[in-house]
Amino acid sequence: MDMKLEVLVLPVSDVDASKAYYERAGFRLDADFDISEELRIVQFTPPGSEMSIIFGRGITDSAPGSVQNLHLVVTDIVAARAELAGRGIEVSEVWHDADGIFHRAGGKNRVSGPAPDRADYGSFVSFEDPDGNGWFLQEIVKRLPGR
């Protein structure tokens, strides 16, 4: 049986500021339901994704900015970074982990530039929304078998 993750809730402090941010980042606005004074649901989908994010008023008790390590997969990390930066999104430089393994908290092993030979799963860009919810772009051109 397939089980697909389709929606992720992001805690935000200012719904309109977050809406403007994700529009600027190039995410597709799917819905904005202002149902009542207590409930508003905004849904966006990243370009090419089957999974969406939702945020709003009255949908989570989690602290704004508490969601971290969200990954968006891209096939060209340099081009994806340039696109976000061109849209006015503050993004890190392209980097890879010096040990060749998954990035570590605090960036202690981060090395400037893409992974050697542009190895799949090895190059990253990071950015945060206005509340500090943390995102990564990760370059994958050829997926591992079964993926």
Please tell me the total count of domains within the chain: 2
Shared domain for 50 and 98, answered yes or no, is no
pLDDT value at position 97? 83
Nearest 5°: the CA angle 136, 54, 35 is: 160
How far is Cα of residue 68 from the mean position of the Cα atoms in its chain? 9
Which pairing describes strands 7-9 and 52-57: parallel, antiparallel, or unpaired? parallel
Shared domain for 51 and 89, answered yes or no, is no
pTM of the full predicted structure?
0.90
Instruction: Tell me how far apart the alpha carbons of residues 68 and 138 are, in angstroms, rounded to a whole number.
Output: 14
Are 71 and 138 in contact, with CB atoms under 8 Å apart? yes
pLDDT value at position 128? 97
Shared domain for 42 and 19, answered yes or no, is yes
Closest CA to 121 of 98, 146, 144, 94: 144
pLDDT value at position 98? 77
pLDDT value at position 146? 63
pLDDT value at position 125? 95
Does residue 145 form part of some domain? no
CATH of the domain at 82: 3.10.180.10
Instruction: Tell me how far apart the alpha carbons of residues 27 and 30 are, in angstroms, rounded to a whole number.
Output: 9
Shared domain for 35 and 79, answered yes or no, is no
Q: What domain range is 31 assigned to?
A: 7-57
Does residue 116 form part of some domain? yes
Per-residue pLDDT of the chain (147 residues; tens, 9 = 90+): 999 999 999 999 999 999 999 999 999 999 999 999 999 999 999 999 999 999 999 999 999 999 999 999 999 999 999 999 999 999 999 999 877 666 555 556 788 999 888 888 889 999 999 999 999 999 998 876 765
Does residue 147 form part of some domain? no
Neighbouring CB atoms inside 10 A of 7's CB total: 10
Residue type present at position 85? A
Shared domain for 135 and 84, answered yes or no, is yes
